[in-house]
Amino acid sequence: MITACAGGGPPVAVEQADRTAAPVDTTNNNNNNTNNTNTSTESTSTTSSTLAVEVDDESEMSADEPSLSVGDPLFPELGSLDVDVVSYDLRLDVEPGAPTVSGEVDVTVTLRPGLTVLPLDAVGLDIDRVAIDEVVTTSTSTESELLIDLPASVDASSGGPTTVTASIDYTFRTGGRTSAVGLPSGWITSPAGSYVLNEPDGARTWLPSNDHPSDKATWRFEVVVPEGVVVSANGELVERPDAASSGAWVWVADDPMPTYLVQMIVGDYEIVESPPATSVDGSEIPLTHVVPSGDRASFDAAIDGIDEQLRFFEELFGPYPLDRYGLAFVTDLSGLAMETHGRSMFGAGDFDSGRVGFLQELLLAHELAHQWFGNAVSPQAWDDIWLNEAFTTYAQWLWLDHVDLQPLDVHARAMLDLRQRTTESTGEPTVENMFGFERYDGGATVVHALRLTIGDDRFFEVLRRWVSDFGGTSQSTESLIGLVEAVADEDLDEFFDDWLYAGALPDSYPAS
Ligand SMILES: [Zn+2]
């Protein structure tokens, strides 16, 4: 993710949140249906609220009680250690402008042996029906969880992990909400349609899921819409209605991805294919884009620039790591860009002049670089967010230097000067500032200092190996430090203490 003003100075995300607050209908931020229960159950609502508060004290939990956390330091309520999602198969029926959307999702999960309740993250969803492997079962909803009772037919106690498919019929209210980080999130509606912003925890407000970056899965999206309405999700478009009829749009994403990278754009758009790019490894990279209906020409310059930017980053970071790429230009999404998996999402208003200048180059470079840093290799937890943002901001610096828009050394010096005015560490964010300056330009000063410390050859070897060794997984800061020290063949504790974990940074870069 990036905000339009991130090239300046701190604070970035806060300013952005103010500017984007308008289109988000926070009146629909409705959590008052907590403790709703599946209609087929005896009332279990009184039992639910106690479960959520016990996540920090595993010693008191019996083997039968589900984990309701993966231990994320910033968002302890997200995810479950007992659940590893294999795939999501989502079907939605969307009527643009309607206050609710109904859907059904099949979540195929591998469960910890002995589990009797399957926990998923879910906030404010109305649950109509739940089944496990087609056997209807009961469930309980708390403020942040959907707890599905596993039927006796699921024998999860017989040794190894068990894989089941949970089918959930549900309804959610559209409009999105403001997340704890101060940014719009969830299913956001606008006159042109709707789109989702899931990072860091918006998916659970419209999709029952293991809503954490440590859990990657494959996806299938089937969205039924009225005639003339277009749907874009991640992956390959495998089915669409005839031009003059309503029907289902089906997108299939085989590249495993976590929930926060899901794209779901519905509205008055066109799907545009451009000639595939050719990777340095010789493979073709299909390019699929989304533009506001009837306005393709305004976005041609941005689309035409992909090849050169892709080639530049491939030479630095290794072959493009995903199946496909493309650009999605969303009406009413202003000043905020998001690295949705395999098709980055931008505000159409930031590009509809038809010109690609400094801001556009910055946004395009940042989101493309995320496909290596964040998407191929995702953060293990949200306090590893600098692994996403500092490295993509540095990639953006490299690109802006390459196209003679911003000299690297001058900008790096200026950002270190700016970093002197802040005292938040890059490596230990809080919820409030996880998308703040210390992760972006402030974080890129850490990356630049690392490059000067270990030298260009080893620095770029680290970047390439990060993706080639760990692509398709989620990794921690400790994992990166381990790789850096292995490649550099030296102990760099002091470097990371001084630059990554310190609040106040050194006032000059290491001598190269
Ligand atoms: Zn970003």
Tens of pLDDT along 333-357? 888 999 999 999 999 999 999 999 9
CA of 374 to the centre of ligand 1 (A): 8
Q: Which helix (H) or strand (E) holds 250?
A: strand 247-257
Span 274-300, pLDDT tens digits:
999 999 999 999 999 999 999 999 999
Give pLDDT, residue 159: 65
Cα(497) to ligand 1 centroid in Å equals 24
Give the per-residue pLDDT at 152.
Answer: 87
In the predicted model, is pLDDT for residue 99 greater than 90?
yes
Q: What's this model's pTM, rounded to 2 decimal places?
A: 0.90
Q: Report CA(369)–ligand 1 centroid distance (Å).
A: 9
d(CA 336, ligand 1 centre) in Å: 10
Give 3-state DSSP helix, strand, coil % of the chain, rounded to 5.
Answer: 30, 30, 45
pLDDT of residue 39: 35
Which of 23-37, 270-284, 494-508 is least confident?
Answer: 23-37
C-alpha neighbours within 13 Å on the C-beta side of residue 86: 11
With bands split at pLDDT 50, 70 and 90, how would you rate the model's confidence at 63?
A: low
Task: For the chain, give the mean pLDDT.
Answer: 89
Name the residue among 239, 303, 297 with its Cα closest to residue 277: 303
Q: How far is the CA of 370 from the centre of ligand 1 (A)?
A: 7
pLDDT of residue 262: 98
CA 219 to chain centre: 14
Q: How many CB atoms lie within 10 A of CB 509?
A: 18
Distance 73 CA to ligand 1 centre (A): 20
Ligand 1 centroid distance, CA of 389 (Å)? 5
Query: Could you read off the pLDDT of 435-458 as tens digits, one per residue?
Result: 999 999 999 999 999 999 999 999
Q: How far is the CA of 338 from the centre of ligand 1 (A)?
A: 7
pLDDT value of residue 18? 34
Average pLDDT over residues 151-165: 79
Whole-number pLDDT of residue 211: 98
Ligand 1 centroid, distance to 124 Cα (angstroms): 28
- Which own/partner pairs from 131-136 qualify as long-range (CB within 8 Å, at least 24 positions apart)? 131/166, 131/167, 132/164, 132/165, 132/166, 132/167, 133/164, 133/165, 134/167, 136/40
Collapsing DSSP states into helix, strand and coil, what is residue 502?
coil
**What spacing in Å lies between the alpha carbon of 302 and ligand 1's midpoint?**
18
Please give the structure tokens belonging to residue 48. 């639910």
pLDDT value at 4 more than 60:
no
For residue 340, report the distance from its CA to the centre of ligand 1, in Å: 10
Cα–Cα distance between 433 and 378 in angstroms, integer?
19
Q: What is the pLDDT of residue 62?
A: 55
What does the pLDDT look like over 383-426, one tens digit per residue? Answer: 999 999 999 999 999 999 999 999 999 999 999 999 999 999 99
Q: Find the mean pLDDT for residues 210-227.
A: 98
